[in-house]
Amino acid sequence: MIKVTLKDGSIKEFENELSVMDVAKSISEGLARNILSASVDGKVVGLDYIITKDCEINLFKFEDEEGKDVFRHTSAHILAQAIQRLYPEAKFAIGPTVENGFYYDIDLDYRLTNDDLEKIEKEMKKIAKEDIKIERYELERNEALAWAKENNEIYKVELIEALPEGEVISFYKQGDFTDLCRGPHLTSTKKVKAIKLLSVTGAYWRGDEKNKMLQRIYGITFEKNKDLEEYLHLLEEAKKRDHRKLGKELELFFMPDEGQGFPLFLPKGMELKNELLKFWREIHRENNYVEIETPIILNQKLWETSGHWYHYKENMYTVDIDNEMYAIKPMNCPGGMLFYKSKPHSYRELPIRAAEIGRVHRHELSGALHGLMRVRAFTQDDAHIFMLPEQIKDEIKNVVNLIDKVYKTFGFEYHVELSTRPESSIGTDEEWEIAENGLKEALEELNLDYLVNEGDGAFYGPKIDFKLKDCLGRTWQCGTIQLDMQLPQRFDINYIGQDNEKHRPVMIHRVAFGSIERFIGILIEHYAGKFPVWLSPVQVRILPISDKYNDYSNEIRQKLFDRGIRVDIDDRTEKTGFKIREAQLQKIPYMLIVGEKEESDKTVSVRSRDKGEVGSISIDEFIEMIVKEIEERTNCL
Q: Which residues are catalytic?
A: 333, 362, 380, 382, 384, 463, 509
Question: Nearest to residue 412, comparing CAs of 422, 401, 400, 404?
Answer: 404
Residue 458 gets which letter from DSSP? B
| Backbone angle region of 518, left / alpha / beta, with phi > 0 → left and psi within -120 to 50 → alpha | alpha
Helix or strand run (H / E) with residue 326: strand 324-328
- Report d(CA 582, CA 577) in Å as an integer: 9
Residue 598 gets which letter from DSSP? H
Q: How far is CA 138 from CA 72, 144, 170, 287, in A?
A: 22, 8, 4, 59
Q: Residue 261: how many CB atoms within 10 A of its CB?
A: 20
Contacts by residues 21-26 (CB-CB < 8 Å, ≥ 24 positions apart)? 21/47, 21/48, 21/187, 23/51, 23/57, 23/59, 24/59
Q: What is the CA radius of gyration of the chain?
A: 29
Q: Is 398 exposed, middle or buried (0-12, 13-18, 19+ CB in 10 A)?
A: middle
- CA angle, residues 608, 609, 610, in degrees to nearest 5: 90
Sheet holding 590-594: strands in order across?
567-569, 540-544, 590-594, 603-608, 612-618
Question: Nearest to residue 419, comparing CAs of 386, 385, 464, 365?
Answer: 464
- Report d(CA 122, CA 120) in Å as an integer: 5
Question: Nearest to residue 565, comparing CAs of 594, 589, 595?
Answer: 589
Helix or strand run (H / E) with residue 320: strand 317-321
Q: Contact, 138 vs 167, CB < 8 A? A: no
Amino acid (one-letter) located at 489? Q
